[in-house]
Amino acid sequence: MFKKLAIIFVSLFGILLSVPTLCPSLAPYFPSWIQPIPLGLDLKGGAQLLLEVDTDVMLKEKSAQLYDEVRSAMIDRSKGVIRFSELRNDGKSVSLIVREEDEVSKAKGRLKSVLGNNVDITSSGKSLTVSYTTKAREEMVQDAMNRSIEIVRRRIDALGTKEPSIQSQGGKYILVQLPGVDNPERIKELIGKTAKMSFHLVNENITNEQLQSGHAPSGTMFLQYMENPGQLIPVYSRVEVSGDSLKNSQADFDQNNMPVVTTEFDASGTRRFAKLTTEHVNERFAIVLDDKVLSAPTIREPIPGGRGQISGGFTLQGAKDLAVLLRSGALPAPLSVIEERTVGAGLGADTIATGKIGAVVGVIFVLVFMAMLYGVFGLFADIVLVVNLLMIIGVSALFGATLTLPGIAGIVLTLGMAVDANILPFERIRDEVRAGTPTLRAVDYGFVRSTKTVLDGELTNLICALILFQFGAGPIRGFAVTLSIGVMTTLFTCLLLTRVFVDYYMNGKNKRIKYIRNK
């Protein structure tokens, strides 16, 4: 008895989960974890972007960092300077020549101890070549992909887009699907920005003649000024404070009621920013964003609290966008949009309307067919089929799944399999009755002996769905999710709930069952 009550309770709970989806007006009366299933890109309309991650640029930056690390290791005074010459970086490896042959082994050992197992060090005479290992490069690329996906997700979520689908594709691409977005231009702009911020001191010793020539001396960069692209600002290459130390940024208003962006650093960034503003009072420092000078204010007094303010003639929306970029972090590699598709909401509405008509007509035909072929047992199967559909909707909503056209296809396929799972025990019962088995015992044999067949078929479908989910992408994964949920609800309803209805009807008696009996 307890088992039957548990089956009925689980069924009712699954039906309850589907109510907000079927009657959205009732959704406010349900807890936040029971909400309607959101519609996907193909049903609601929106935008789809395919982004390419330029990992080559990232690897070149890593090579430049390796160059600095090799140089620092060779001139480390605490361990003794190793004299060298012709230090070069070709974008893939760093090479140098050790002046004294007897110091080659010492140089290799020091570089290995400083750089670890992520590098290969080869030598030819007094020449050394340092490069990242294949494994290290692959890990860098994978890390760049993972970080890019997470940063893109944070930027889009900060814009209030609901249920974005963001996933890796093909090793160097990111597929972004944005339901409900009909103008993706601003999102494209925000996604594509690297948003790499750093603070540099301005080199005041550069003359106008040097600026006009465009040839920056060693240790100095000539960067464009954002407000006036024709103006170049000479800044020292050394990064005083990195944007990686930024803890928070928000859009705000200054005392003149003009939009600004406020910044707050973590503990390490606060110390470095305080040191910078204390040691260089009355000097200018540049706020550099994506290799362009955003602002170059003069330090009027020390700023020990780690809080700053960026102004630059922003609009309110521009200040909000910059705050989002800085808050979400810098992209490890540039992104470029290589494909864009927009789906109008009207197409989604037409698809939903057509799908509703097709679904209703198909379900009616199936229900009538089952009732005509199997009589009262067919009516039980019809009830179980409807409960199965409601449970699929409810469980999908509970897991936060998004309804798409492939998802609907998965639901339809599941209902077809559910009909088949009900027919198997009924046909088995009919065979038992034909063999002369009493009806009550035939019912028991029919369910017990068909269980293995039903399990084999459904578990095979579940394995296929899991493989599609693991190796598929986009719509294929949506199909796999709904198919997996449908397999589980089908096993529950067809093997357990149908038996509850049949046992209640039989009530322990050898009833003569129309349409199941031997004709």
pLDDT in tens, 228-253: 778 889 999 888 887 767 777 788 88
Q: Which of 20-24, 92-96, 149-153, 322-326 has the lowest mean pLDDT?
A: 322-326
Write down the residue that tokens 């540039």 correspond to: 334
- Burial letters 289-324, b for 16+ CB under 10 A, else e: beeebbbbeebeeebeebebebbbebeeeebbbbbb
Under the banding of pLDDT at 50, 70 and 90, the label for residue 518 is very low
Q: Which residues contact 444 (CB under 8 A, 6 or more apart)?
A: none
Amino acid at residue number 242: S
Amino acid at residue number 153: R
Q: How far is CA 30 from the centre of its chain?
A: 28
- Degrees (nearest 5) of the Cα angle 64, 65, 67? 65
The pair of three-digit structure tokens given for residue 6, joined into one six-digit string: 């548990």
86: alpha, beta or left? (left if phi > 0; alpha if psi -120 to 50): left
Q: Which residues contact 359 (CB under 8 A, 6 or more apart)?
A: 408, 412
Query: Could you report the per-residue pLDDT of 400-444, keeping only the tens digit for each?
Result: 777 777 777 788 888 888 888 888 888 888 888 888 888 788 888
More confident residue, 388 or 295: 388
More confident residue, 39 or 18: 18
> Taking residues 174-184, what's their average pLDDT?
75
Under the banding of pLDDT at 50, 70 and 90, the label for residue 161 is very low
Amino acid at residue number 321: D
- Residue ranges, comma separated, of all CATH 3.30.1360.200 domains in the chain are 197-309
Q: CB of 259 within 8 A of CB of 319?
A: yes
Q: Which residues contact 476 (CB under 8 A, 6 or more apart)?
A: 406, 468
Cβ-based neighbour number of residue 443 at 10 Å: 27
Under the banding of pLDDT at 50, 70 and 90, the label for residue 512 is low
Average pLDDT, the chain: 81
At 2 the pLDDT is 80
> Taking residues 156-171, what's their average pLDDT?
66
- Identify the DSSP state of 176: E
> Taking residues 166-176, what's their average pLDDT?
81
Cβ-based neighbour number of residue 191 at 10 Å: 23
At 140 the pLDDT is 85
According to the 3-state scheme, what is the secondary structure of 477-505?
HHHHHHHHHHHHHHHHHHHHHHHHHHHHH
> Taking residues 102-127, what's their average pLDDT?
86
pLDDT of residue 169 exceeding 50, the answer is: yes
91: alpha, beta or left? (left if phi > 0; alpha if psi -120 to 50): left
Write down the residue that tokens 């009924």 correspond to: 426
Under the banding of pLDDT at 50, 70 and 90, the label for residue 463 is very high
Percentage of the chain beyond pLDDT 90 is 4
CATH architecture for segment(s) 197-309: 2-Layer Sandwich (3.30)
Q: Which residues contact 451 (CB under 8 A, 6 or more apart)?
A: 495
Q: CB of 381 within 8 A of CB of 411?
A: no
pLDDT of residue 328 exceeding 80, the answer is: no
197-201 and 173-179 beta bridge pairing: unpaired
CATH of domain 55-137: 3.90.1150
**3-class DSSP assignment, residue 115:** helix
The pair of three-digit structure tokens given for residue 314, joined into one six-digit string: 């922003």
> Taking residues 307-325, what's their average pLDDT?
73
pLDDT of residue 160 exceeding 60, the answer is: no
More confident residue, 152 or 40: 152
**H or E element that contains 510:** none
CATH of domain 2-44+344-506: 1.20.1640.10
- Residue ranges, comma separated, of all CATH 3.90.1150 domains in the chain are 55-137
- Residue ranges, comma separated, of all CATH 1.20.1640.10 domains in the chain are 2-44+344-506
At 387 the pLDDT is 92
Q: Best-predicted range by mean pLDDT among 53-57, 147-151, 341-345?
A: 53-57
The pair of three-digit structure tokens given for residue 231, joined into one six-digit string: 């103006």
